[in-house]
Amino acid sequence: MAGYNEHIGFSGVLGLIWGTAATWMFGFTPVQGSLVFLLTWFSGMLPDIDSQTGRPVREIFGVVSVIGPLILMQHLLAWGGDPERVLLLVILFYIALRNFGAPLLGKLCVHRGMYHSVPALLIAALTTFLFYKHDDVWVRLLMASGVSIGFLSHLILDEIYSVQWTGARIKLAKSAGSALKWFGHSIPANAFCWAAVMFLGYLALSDVGLIVNPSVTSQQHEQNLELDDAQTEPFEEGLLPEDPESKQVDLGAGTDAPFFQ
């Protein structure tokens, strides 16, 4: 199994390549290219968060406990929250995540469980897309792709290191196939992960307009009906003034007004 240095080195190289390509080939700004480089680099550690001990857990929760409150503050302020109340919530979120995040995750996850899987990769990418605040959807996709690449690099490297060479013979370690998987041994874990993927996927598709929310559609339909009623009401009640041009001039007999002037 690959170690911490191998994972962080591999994801760092991929992040540098992807960040450079995003800036020089796809027209993103240097700041955005730098951000996607850092996200890709950092995401190379994410699957090892289920190890519960060691350097990856300390590094991940140290970064997330700082970045998470900042992202939360952006959204709360955008939703019109009181700045002092937002600051209090952000501080409480930081304290809770910093002190109770790792122990709680240790109760819910097992090492090389469903957190080392393709559904977990999709959850991480979709969460990044939904929470990264930017008006341009392509920028949000860029950041989500960086998380995907870093996460995937970890899974692939674990599978590569599970192949052991003993001379001319190839031997697979017990961990072979446990990283890059779609389903695990636990039915509740499988159900939870795939339910999260479908829920986050629905939110992402709704956010970009590919899926129309039924409640929003019904509200718009009601508003259109009210607007139509408001436009037809004056005609029905005779409230509109009569158009002067529609009046007919009665030129009776004996008038001296010519027809053509």
pLDDT tens-digit map of 120-161? 999 999 999 998 888 899 999 999 999 999 999 999 988 887
What pLDDT, on the 0 to 100 scale, is given for residue 248? 52
One-letter identity of residue 165: W
Residue with the larger pLDDT of the pair 70 and 169: 70
Q: Is the pLDDT of residue 260 over 50?
A: no
27: confidence class by pLDDT, cuts 50, 70, 90: very high
Q: Let me know if residue 160 belongs to a domain.
A: yes
Provide the 10 A C-beta neighbour count for residue 17.
13
Q: Which among 202, 32, 193 is positioned nearest to 124, based on CA atoms?
A: 193
Q: Let me know if residue 78 belongs to a domain.
A: no
Provide the 10 A C-beta neighbour count for residue 120.
24
Q: Is the pLDDT of residue 164 over 80?
A: no
Q: Positive or negative CA dihedral for 249, 252, 255, 258? A: positive
Residue located via tokens 């450079």: 20
Q: Let me know if residue 144 belongs to a domain.
A: yes
Residue with the larger pLDDT of the pair 76 and 232: 76
Run of H or E residues at 171: strand 169-172
Q: Let me know if residue 257 belongs to a domain.
A: no
- For the entire predicted model, the pTM comes to 0.71
Q: Let me know if residue 88 belongs to a domain.
A: no
Give the CA diameter of the chain: 124
259: confidence class by pLDDT, cuts 50, 70, 90: very low
112: confidence class by pLDDT, cuts 50, 70, 90: low
What pLDDT, on the 0 to 100 scale, is given for residue 18? 96
Q: Let me know if residue 218 belongs to a domain.
A: no
Residue with the larger pLDDT of the pair 55 and 173: 55
Residue located via tokens 């017990």: 174
Terminal Cα distance for the chain, rounded: 102
Residue with the larger pLDDT of the pair 191 and 250: 191
Q: Is the pLDDT of residue 227 over 70?
A: no
Q: Strand, helix or coil at 18?
A: helix
Contact 90, 73 (CB under 8 A): yes
Q: Is the pLDDT of residue 245 over 90?
A: no
pLDDT tens for each residue of 77-99: 766 667 788 788 878 888 887 77
What pLDDT, on the 0 to 100 scale, is given for residue 218? 57
Residues contacting residue 8 through CB under 8 Å, at least 6 positions apart? 41, 44, 45
Q: Let me know if residue 150 belongs to a domain.
A: yes
How many structural domains does the chain have? 1
What pLDDT, on the 0 to 100 scale, is given for residue 33? 95
**Residue 162 belongs to domain spanning:** 4-52+109-209
What pLDDT, on the 0 to 100 scale, is given for residue 147? 95
Residue located via tokens 């996709």: 141
Q: Let me know if residue 10 belongs to a domain.
A: yes
Contact 116, 179 (CB under 8 A): yes
